[in-house]
Amino acid sequence: MTNTETALKETLASIEGATGAALVDYTTGMALGTIGGSKSFDLTVAAAGNTDVVRAKIRTMEHLGLKGEIEDILITLSDQYHLIRLIKGRGGNGLFLYLVLDAKRANLAMARHQLKKIESDLEV
Amino acid sequence: MEAGPLPGVGRPDPGPPVDPAVDPSVDPSVHLAGADRSAPVPPVLSPMLSRLAEERATGVLTRDRGVLYLVEGQVVHAESPATPGLDILLTSRGALGSDGWWEAVSEAGAERRVGRFLVDSGRLAAGALELCHLGALYDAAFFTLGASSGPARFRYGVAHWIGPVRPVTVGAVERETLRRRALLHRIWPDPDTDTAELVRTARAVDVVLPPRQRTVLDQVDGERTVSDISRVLGRPGFHTLVDVRRLAAAGIVTTRARTVECRAPETTAPPMSPAPSVSTVTAQAAQAAQASADPDVALLRRLRDALEAL
């Protein structure tokens, strides 16, 4: 049983190479909590923008008639990884965890594994 | 069901202090929605609310579309008749049985610590309560701070029985409310569907609708408004607003008043229909549209609205 603050702190502490994370409501695009980020990397802006990424992917899958559910979405930049993990909120709102990783330090497989664990601890 | 032990008594604490981002490099502190960032100050939505935040007031602010509860100048709870409350959001999705909810209210309501009781008695995870409450707070605040609100009043010293969960700053609530208004405007600039009774248009649903929108569409019956639908589905009101604006933008849903207005010119007053006063311009436009192959006045109207919005 973890609260949001602890879960976000744990995300940054336990995932090698993580530089920022946000928990986002994807209907509104609102970041319910953020950790890390910097003046030049505003996580609330990233949260709102990545909502469109999630929406677009879900729509495309519906058009294609794919029945599977998205577990996570990975975006690789030359120096960063952005990992989006979808979570089902029990209060009726769809959420996702958004994680920014330093590509040089991060281990993607481990990061995905850890994120899955944090999600189950969060019990949102 | 047996009630869990009562949590240790203590004064409700206003939550952790809020620290603005100061370091230009990586900022290690957690920002929960509501923590004040060093962002530009938004235009003031309610001068009274800003003043109450400044004087660190505790009490309840009542506006004509809802209420905001403050503790030491921070928003701790919000409610609006336009959107389902925390009880509906938690119970309708099965996060909590309604027995569990009411037991918590009767056990801990008098002490004003229902939130803590839900967590301490193991009925709800701390994270689930926090996120659901935060979502409900911003949702109700959006409606409470709606543009059409009339005069407000504040009663000092009043506290809500849910107790402390996660206080957020007035600035954060105002910023989020403005951001949400802009989001709605971007989807579809016509606010008529936000409050009116909704109907389906004659337009066939020729696109694959996302399940969430389809569920909302299934509730459109000519009588229900956005807030009725939110309550039926147990969804936050703003989420339904977003879905309905998307359906309006796709031409699938419109307001009942608008369909009555559109049909009026082509009928020679059927006995039951109200006689709306239609301007001659609208009537001419309708006649012109009838003369052409496709008398889709609603489409033309949407086109005009969209062009005006550019």
Q: What is the DSSP string of chain B?
A: -PPPPPPPP-PPP--SPP-----SS---SEEEBTBPPSPPPPPPS-HHHHHHHHTT--EEEEETTEEEEEETTEEEEEE-TTS--HHHHHHHTTSS-HHHHHHHHHHHTTTT-HHHHHHHTTSS-HHHHHHHHHHHHHHHHHHHT-TT----EEEET---TT--S--EEHHHHHHHHHHHHHHHHHH-S-GGGGTS-EEE-S----S---HHHHHHHHT--SS--HHHHHHHHT--HHHHHHHHHHHHHTTSEEEHHHHHHHHGGGSS--TTS------HHHHHHHHHHHHSS---HHHHHHHHHHHHH-
CA neighbor of B176 nearest in space, from B15, B31, B26, B30: B31
| Burial class (CB within 10 angstroms; exposed 0-12, middle 13-18, buried 19+) of B145 | buried
Pairing of strands A72-76, A80-88: antiparallel
pLDDT digits (tens, 9 = 90+) for A43-93: 888 888 899 899 888 888 888 888 888 889 999 999 999 999 988 655 546
Q: Which residues of B touch A105 (CB under 8 A)?
A: none
Give the residue from B66, B74, B60, B49 showing the smallest Cα distance to B157: B60
Please answer whether residues B134 and A5 qualify as being in contact, where contact means their C-beta atoms are separated by less than 8 angstroms. Answer: no
Distance from CA of B289 to the nearest CA of A (A): 33
Looking at the DSSP bridge assignments, the partners of residue A119 are none
- Which residues touch A71 (CB under 8 Å, ≥6 apart)? A85, A86
Give first-to-last CA distance, chain A, whole Å.
Answer: 10
Nearest to B131 among A32, A35, A58 (CB): A32
Q: Which one-letter DSSP state was computed for residue A93?
A: -
Percent of chain B with pLDDT over 90: 44
**CA angle B149–B32–B232, rounded 5-degree value:** 50
Closest CA to B213 of B252, B185, B186: B252
Q: Which residue in chain A has the smallest CA separation from B129?
A: A124
Q: Enumerate the residues of chain A whose CB falls inside 8 A of the CB of residue B92.
A: 92
Q: Which residues of A touch B234 (CB under 8 A)?
A: 92
Q: Higher model confidence: residue A104 or residue B303?
A: A104
- CA–CA separation, B205 and B242 (whole Å): 18
CB contact, 8 Å: B30 with chain A?
yes
Nearest chain A residue to B208, by CA = A63
Domain ranges in chain A?
A: 4-121
Paired tokens of B68 = 């905001």
Among the partner-chain residues B29, B32, B131, the one whose CB lies closest to the CB of A91 is: B131
CATH class of A4-121: alpha beta
Choose, out of A28, A61, A66, A97, the residue to mutate when testing the contact with B (most B CBs < 10 Å). Answer: A28
Backbone angles phi, psi at B186, to 5 degrees: -65, -35
Q: Cβ–Cβ of B135/A2 closer than 8 Å?
A: no
Size of interface A-B (CB pairs under 8 A): 125
CB pair distance less than 8 Å for B90 and A25: no
Note whether B27 contacts A36, CB cutoff 8 Å.
Answer: yes
B19 touches chain A (CB under 8 A): no
CA distance linking residue B220 with residue B254, whole number of Å: 10
Contact check, Cβ <8 Å, B127/A2:
yes
A91 → closest Cβ in B32, B135, B210: B135
Give me the pLDDT at residue B186, please: 93
Neighbouring C-beta atoms of residue A69, cutoff 10 Å: 9
Question: What is the DSSP-derived secondary structure letter of residue A48?
Answer: H
The nearest alpha carbon in chain A to B38 belongs to: A39
Q: Name which of A5, A30, A63 is nearest B176 (Cβ-Cβ).
A: A30
Q: CA of A77 to nearest chain B CA: how many angstroms apart? A: 19
Taking the Cβ of residue B134 and every Cβ of chain A, the question of whether any pair is shorter than 8 Å is answered with: yes
pTM across the whole model: 0.74
**pLDDT per residue rounded down to tens, chain B (310 residues):** 444 444 433 344 444 443 333 334 455 566 666 555 444 445 668 889 999 999 999 999 999 899 999 999 999 999 999 999 999 988 887 778 888 888 899 988 888 889 999 999 988 888 888 888 999 999 999 999 987 657 889 999 999 999 989 999 999 999 999 999 999 999 999 999 999 999 999 887 766 788 888 899 999 999 999 999 999 999 999 999 999 999 999 999 999 888 776 655 544 444 444 444 445 545 555 554 454 445 466 677 777 777 877 6
